Structure 1
Amino acid sequence: MKTTAQIKKNYQLIKFQKLVIVSLLIGFLSALLGISLKKMTEYYEEIFFHQADSNPLFLLLFPIFGLSVIYFLRLYLFKKKENKGIKEVFESTHSKTKNLPSYKIPSHTINGLLTVIFGGSTGIEVSTVVATATIGSVAHQKENVFRQYKTELICAGVAAGITALFSSPIAGILFALEVISRKVTRAFVIANLIAVSIAFGLLTLLKEEPLFSVAVTTWHLRAIPYFILLGILAGINSVYLTKCVLFFKSRFAKIETHYYKIIIGSAILSISLFIFPQLYGEGYHAIKEIMNSNNEIPLTFTLAFTFLSILLLKPIVTSITLASGGDGGVFAPSLFIGAFLGILVASVLNTFFDTQIIPVNFMIIGMAAVLSASIHAPFTAIFLVCGLTNNYTLFFPILAACLISKYTAKMIYPDTVYTFVPSI
């Protein structure tokens, strides 16, 4: 009996040691991929956007060129298979036999980069999630001892990738939990804590700065009713984004010749970018510009029209980017929409009702609220946006707005782009 118990104990110890080692590797590789993709995207997007801003002709050429390159890469390099986004991760975690093939790592990394730097109105977040999930999936196939930890190792890769992008280990773990795993096991806790610790350590070593450098010092209790209003509006806008993505994907799916999709999609995208350059790529450049001058912006008819047009157009151009072959998702668009919704609400309230609220606060809260409602993950949104700004001053207003936006969205439409299953 003692010998059997000892053997079992030794086996459990070996299994634990191997889980720790593989989690370290997954965390490091996923973080390295996430940081590298983020750096490359920021660098090349800035260069190409500057060229397009200087010469509008590039706004016509970049989208069709980017989407064409992605199409030919998929056709000749990546086994002629379309990328399905996070749904691929769900399919893998819900199946014992279906795994994420290793080519998904370069496929999503390269295509995500090309989509954004050539003007596709989306972000690299979903590309990073699928690529890092694949790292976890490949790792779980290497040894029999990891077979039972498939979901945990996939989540470890995802958590490390999200940490690398947004400098928030808590957001990484919460996203893996709220969106992918939806359950906590001891292996989940061990693998994900190790992975995000390695990712955050790498960020610290590289001295990564927060994406948005903004000073948030206070908020006022009298603004609570306006936070609630913003939460409701964020929920409505998120449903509009979800509906747009689902609508245009279904319509473009009916176009049999893929290059017609590229031509139609790039034409709409080019015209939109020509009118509103803020829609180019992730759109973080536009958010930073407004954040740096938000207290100085008086609301005029032209500005209000611009903000409203961007709020209406962004979901459409994002949807068309994805439907015509671009690689990405709703993370960055949700943050973009939330920021512009927040500044518009604050400007209207200050101009017409003299509320004297702080516009930058509403931009940050709006970002979290729209993201929360878009992916039905309020706690991920809270810590992700706090990580983006490296500031937790607005934690409680963000918490309230995120919960309100999520349940507002669910009341209107129960699905997200991740959970929607088309009827056959």
Structure 2
Amino acid sequence: MTKTAQLRKNHKWIVLQKLTVASLLIGFLCAFMAVSLKRLTEHYEEILFHKASVNWIFFLIFPIFGLSIIYFLRQYLFKKKENKGIKEIFETTANTNKKLPVYKVPSHFFNGLLTVVFGGSTGIEVSTVVASAAIGSVAQQKENMFRRYKTELICAGIAAGITALFSSPIAGILFALEVISKKITKTFAFTTIVAVAIAYGFILVLDEKPLFAVTVSTWHLHAFPYFILLGILAGANSVYLTKSVLYIKNRFAQIDKQSYRILIGSVIISVSLLVLPQLYGEGYHAVKTLFNTSGSIALTTSFVLTILGILVLKPIITSITLASGGDGGVFAPSMFLGAFLGLFLAIILNTFFDSNVIPLNFMIIGMAAMLSASIHAPFTALFLICGLINDYTLFFPILVVSLVSKTTAKFIYPYTVYTYQPKSVK
């Protein structure tokens, strides 16, 4: 072996060692951050939602208080920079000179937490993703030899964060691949797998429980055409969600003063929460309740009005939350809407067509279908939802319906809230 070849071999070994250490640290830090954010959000959201349920005046106070605190944090602590969500990651990976600064970790952590616990109708998933990406980006900036591996280390952080949040390592890897990287390299595979392994080990040590404790017994082949119908409806509904976010954000951007945005947004959110408390926060409390009662729900007028109100208002309130300065994305709203859409379709089929379908199955499949259509990532949605319930009984119907919903959504409207780029005015 020549001296030059030996030097190259030694250099590759050094790079591999440093990448391993960086991936281990990224995996642990992202998992710790994601679990901390999840537990804090669940704890305080439950407390504050209970307070508001007992005394309705808090439905009026909490949204304006939360959005105002986020505004002051941004102004005086986070360099007056607005959080752009996953678009920040796309901009960073597309530009070699752009980076995610370290303050993005506490910015998304606290802003995501405050948004949800004070009633903002979104979730902490995107906050977790961007904060995790920032951890990966900061790690990449620490070593000159990591300059060419920026996307890989960012994706390692994202995969670890998703793994810890949803207890699904495959979903973490697939999200980083389907949504962010869109290509796989040896370095991507190595760094992501190492980070995810550490993150998954961390949540196993903590004995993290699945978000939804449900038991899926079986599914019936005769329900398959109805599953396809659910996929088509979810695809169309996801476009409504996407267009709502894009339109309302654009309208709010035309309001000059942030104080007016907060005031207008919080008033609309508060009134909506008074009418439909299920819209509070990420809405998982309402989904959990429906999981437990889905088999005994009858098609009454109040049920129909409630479901229709949720399907119409949730995208609007989510959009207003984000446009008013709240931190979050469409992960939780998509799954929330999918659960209600699936339940509504199942009840209609059983009531009018004597279809004898299982409402619980439709709720779970609906969650995956809406998520797949909203972010154009069917395989991420498949493993993420199976990880959330810790059950793979519905694996095949979820896979098929997720593909159907994504195809439907792309046929109607080719963009997601993350990939849409406004046309520049010439």
TM-score normalized with structure 2 length: 0.99
Once the two structures are superposed, what CA deviation does each residue of 1:82-140 show, in whole Å capped at 9, x if it has no partner?
A: 11000000000011000001110000000000000000000000000000000000000
Once the two structures are superposed, what CA deviation does each residue of 1:202-255 show, in whole Å capped at 9, x if it has no partner?
A: 110000000000000100000010000000000000000000000000000000
Residue matched to 2:353: 353
Letter of the 2:148 counterpart? Q
Residue matched to 2:47: 47
Give the deviation of 1:305 after TM superposition. 1.2
Residue matched to 2:38: 38
Percent of aligned pairs with the same amino acid: 68
Residue matched to 1:180: 180
What are the equivalent positions in structure 2 for 1:118-197 lying under 5 Å apart? Answer: 118-197=118-197
Residue matched to 2:339: 339
Letter of the 1:241 counterpart? L
Residue matched to 2:58: 58
Cα distance in 2 for partners of 1:410, 1:7 equals 49
Instruction: Give the secondary structure class of the aligned counterpart of 2:217.
Output: coil
295-304 vs 281-290, which moves further = 295-304
Residue matched to 1:381: 381
Residue matched to 1:288: 288
Cα distance in 2 for partners of 1:197, 1:308 equals 42
Instruction: Give the secondary structure class of the aligned counterpart of 2:25.
Output: helix
Cα distance in 2 for partners of 1:256, 1:423 equals 21
1:8 corresponds to 2:30: no
Residue matched to 2:400: 400
Cα distance in 2 for partners of 1:272, 1:313 equals 8
Cα distance in 2 for partners of 1:143, 1:57 equals 52
Give the deviation of 1:310 after TM superposition. 0.4
Cα distance in 2 for partners of 1:76, 1:17 equals 40
Residue matched to 2:256: 256
Letter of the 1:379 counterpart? F
Cα distance in 1 for partners of 2:61, 2:406 equals 38
Instruction: Give the secondary structure class of the aligned counterpart of 1:64.
Output: helix
Give the deviation of 1:266 after TM superposition. 0.2
1:70 corresponds to 2:70: yes
Once the two structures are superposed, what CA deviation does each residue of 1:266-307 show, in whole Å capped at 9, x if it has no partner?
A: 000000000100000000000000001110111111101111
Letter of the 1:380 counterpart? T
Instruction: Give the secondary structure class of the aligned counterpart of 1:292.
Output: helix
Give the deviation of 1:376 after TM superposition. 0.3
Letter of the 1:53 counterpart? S
Cα distance in 1 for partners of 2:411, 2:294 equals 32
Letter of the 1:93 counterpart? T
Instruction: Give the secondary structure class of the aligned counterpart of 1:96.
Output: coil
| Count of residues in Structure 1 that have an aligned counterpart in Structure 2 | 424
Letter of the 2:195 counterpart? A
Residue matched to 2:26: 26
Residue matched to 1:278: 278
Residue matched to 2:111: 111
Letter of the 2:231 counterpart? G
Give the deviation of 1:168 after TM superposition. 0.2
Cα distance in 1 for partners of 2:60, 2:190 equals 49
Give the deviation of 1:3 after TM superposition. 1.8
230-239 vs 300-309, which moves further = 300-309
Once the two structures are superposed, what CA deviation does each residue of 1:359-407 show, in whole Å capped at 9, x if it has no partner?
A: 0000000000000000000000000000000000001100111000001
Instruction: Give the secondary structure class of the aligned counterpart of 1:293.
Output: helix
Residue matched to 1:301: 301
What are the equivalent positions in structure 2 for 1:76-87 lying under 5 Å apart? Answer: 76-87=76-87
Is there any run of 5+ residues in structure 2 with no aligned partner, and where?
none
Letter of the 1:120 counterpart? G
Give the deviation of 1:10 after TM superposition. 1.1
Is there any run of 5+ residues in structure 1 with no aligned partner, and where?
none
Misfit runs of 4+, over 3 Å? none
Cα distance in 2 for partners of 1:241, 1:3 equals 60
Cα distance in 2 for partners of 1:137, 1:396 equals 36
Cα distance in 1 for partners of 2:364, 2:324 equals 31
Give the deviation of 1:192 after TM superposition. 0.5
Letter of the 1:73 counterpart? L
Give the deviation of 1:6 after TM superposition. 1.3
Instruction: Give the secondary structure class of the aligned counterpart of 2:290.
Output: helix
Once the two structures are superposed, what CA deviation does each residue of 1:3-38 show, in whole Å capped at 9, x if it has no partner?
A: 221111111111111111100000000000000000
Residue matched to 1:243: 243
Once the two structures are superposed, what CA deviation does each residue of 1:32-80 show, in whole Å capped at 9, x if it has no partner?
A: 0000000000000000000000000000000000000000110111111
Residue matched to 1:369: 369
Q: What's the RMSD between the two structures over aligned residues?
A: 0.6
Instruction: Give the secondary structure class of the aligned counterpart of 2:96.
Output: coil
